[in-house]
Amino acid sequence: MPNTTESTPNISSEKIAQAAEVLQRLKAEIGKAVVGQDGVVEQVLIALTASGHVLLEGVPGLGKTLLVRALSRTFSGSFARVQFTPDLMPSDVTGHTMFDSGKNEFQIRKGPVFANLLLADEINRAPAKTQSALLEVMQEYQVTIEGTALPLPLPFMVLATQNPIELEGTYPLPEAQLDRFLLKVVVDYPGADEEKALVTRITSGHIGDSLQVQDVAAVVKPETVQALQRVAALLAVDERIYDYAVRIVRATRTWPGVAIGAGPRGTIGMIRAARAHALLNRRDFVTPDDIKSVALPVLRHRISLAPDVQLEGQTHDGMLSLIVDAIEAPRN
């Protein structure tokens, strides 16, 4: 479904092919460390291409941290990790000023957030004040310390992890803060064949029980990632695709059993992610299938279900699947 309404510059098929090839190389390098989880890896690459942040949710031991470490090695940018704990202060993330007695002046000490890729491990274990400090940075792409605005290095991406079952001692993210994440990616148990391959790889000559990332090579520079993001932002989107995305999101606000629907940021996120999905599949325009492919990770953290529906066993993904199936997609 080619574009008929936008006036964005045409992108050559050669550029599209080159960008898609870079994304496939990134996926292949990550696959050297991460066994299986192809859908998860693809969604993380979509977020990277769309210049968005990702919330990874899954029980311990499924390779969430490993995935982020592998991604960080695929491009020669800076990487930082913060282990969120109840005593973590906002300044531990963003940075602070300290007095330099030698120079007799205050110096700004930048925090770990000044990196291209930031892993916020177990983000729901930090108090709301610290969570808010990070989420504000995610939105503004800058940090203000003692009145001085400091821009973050670009590209900048936060990958936060959380455990959905251990809720004791946690501070769940409010809906307004969850909205800052482009995607919520659910990391599930691997299939039988994938688990066998995982066990085989770990127990074949390795000491310990963790997969290594030293085989992952850097294939791009931060400037290349920014170029990918610019290409994705120029992909054609037909007016009917915009209408389709709007109808899906608006349906979440009136659908029976949904207490709180997604806001306009959900529609914007769906278009951004759909463009990245199209680029990953070597197309210069967005199709209805691109919208369907990204609808769940874009919207699952932006809606709330009514209590009675949850008691009946309905899930966010199940409800969203019903909504997407009910909204008629545009045809060529």
Distance (Å, whole) CA 5 – CA 54: 30
Distance (Å, whole) CA 222 – CA 142: 18
Q: Going by C-beta distance under 8 Å and a sequence separation of 6 or more, which residues neighbour residue 98?
A: 106, 107, 109
Instruction: Classify residue 201: in a domain, yes or no.
Output: yes
Instruction: Classify residue 75: in a domain, yes or no.
Output: yes
Instruction: Classify residue 5: in a domain, yes or no.
Output: no
More confident residue, 49 or 125: 49
Angle (CA) 63-66-69 rounded to 5° is: 155
Handedness of CA 10, 15, 17, 22 (dihedral sign): negative
What's the number of domains the chain is made of? Answer: 1
Q: What is the DSSP letter of 124?
A: G
Task: Give the model's pLDDT for residue 135.
Answer: 80
The CATH number assigned to the domain holding 162 equals 3.40.50.300
Host domain of residue 163 = 13-326
pLDDT of 102 > 70? The answer is yes
Instruction: Classify residue 1: in a domain, yes or no.
Output: no
pLDDT of 7 > 60? The answer is no
- Taking residues 112-131, report their average pLDDT: 89
What is the residue type of 252?
A: T
- Taking residues 74-102, report their average pLDDT: 86
Instruction: Classify residue 223: in a domain, yes or no.
Output: yes
Max avg pLDDT among 62-66, 200-204, 215-219, 301-305: 301-305
pLDDT of 163 > 90? The answer is no
Instruction: Classify residue 157: in a domain, yes or no.
Output: yes
Task: Give the model's pLDDT for residue 38.
Answer: 86
